[in-house]
A = this chain, B = another copy of it.
Amino acid sequence: MPLTSQNNESPIISELRQDIVTGDWVVIAKARAQKPEAFKSEASESVPVNPEECVFCHPEETGQKKDTLIYYREDGEWSLRVFPNKFPAFSRESNIVRHYEEGPYFVMEGVGYHEIIVTRDHNKTFGQLPVEAVTELVDSFRSRYLDLMNKKSVNYIMLIHNHGKRAGASQPHPHCQLFAIPVVSPGVQLELKGAEDYYHSHKQCVFCDILDWEGKENKRIVFENNSFMVIAPYASRAAFELWILPKRHEPYFERIAGKQEYHLGEALKHAMQKLYIGLKDPAINFYLHTSPCDGKEYNHYHWHLEILPRTSVWAGFEMATGIEVSTVIPEDAAQFLKKINST
């Protein structure tokens, strides 16, 4: 039962909602809540670059290193390409990860792979591409994942998308980045542990329970097809946050196959298009959360994509507590985005 103000009691100013995967709390500021229609999102602030000068439109002419993967159109032109980042955050192709202690501290060489995935059209965000092109993007994720997951120094593969200056993108051309690194990220570790704990107390996957409940309630579903459900999470960390969850339990993204790839392309395309239209091209991040490829078993985890529009600036409260304050109610955000006509 949701919180409502009863007679003789003070009005509800806010709710503290718990993320049942991680145990984190978010504040839904009800008294300050805005109608999604009235929400003024700041634009992505993409740095405009002339396609003629864009390093991702003509990677071979601007000194990008050799491609690791290229997809072609029927006319023989490339449609998607993957290449190593010219300015990697991690060094490449080392089988040995050097560790050192420095007094009480611990440091490790930043060994790993850092690749860029680029779609062809300089001016079309993923939400503006046809489903087939987004499906090709999904296929490139899977293909690079399978290649990198067996490298010796790689224990985790992170796939991310930054769009707009406010989301940390330095290039306006639509692209994703792939990081294959020796450590499992703390954010994912928290989810792995939460899913494990939930399984032991409920004998069920926490994400499967979420999918069951969301299907029954039908209050936070933004889009669905046979394989995926797109929801505004109950404890959204930011206004208009979305999760894309595979409906069938599956800990490992890399096992995506057959029709599922097209269905993920479709879900991602519609989610991104709805945000693009509804929030007028907001700055946006999305990223994959999947089980580590460190050889251990993660049967109780459930891979998914998280889409985070950068609709607000994290202030001291969020930085200090890790508790986010959201002024759009997730149920309202879901209904608003659901109604937006995506094609």
Contact = CB atoms under 8 A, between A and B. Distances in A.
A239 B14 CA distance: 34
Given A1-B102, A3-B107, A319-B287, A91 B13 contact: yes
A320 B159 CA distance: 9
B105 A235 contact: yes
A168 B154 CA distance: 37
Count of identical protomers in the assembly: 2
Interface in A96-123: 98, 100-110
A15 B108 contact: yes
Given A166-B313, A168-B315, A185-B322, A89 B14 contact: yes
A103 B316 contact: no
Contacts of A108: 15-18
Given A16-B108, A177-B317, A217 B187 contact: no
A20 interface: yes
A2 B106 CA distance: 10
A306 B319 CA distance: 10
**Chain B CB within 10 Å — which of A3, A98, A306 has the most?**
A3
A23 interface: yes
A315 B285 contact: yes
A102 B160 contact: no
A24 B315 contact: no
B90 A3 contact: no
A29 interface: yes
A100 B1 contact: yes
B186 A12 contact: no
Given A13-B88, A162-B316, 9 more contacts: A15-B109, A16-B107, A16-B182, A28-B110, A30-B110, A104-B206, A160-B317, A166-B313, A187-B320
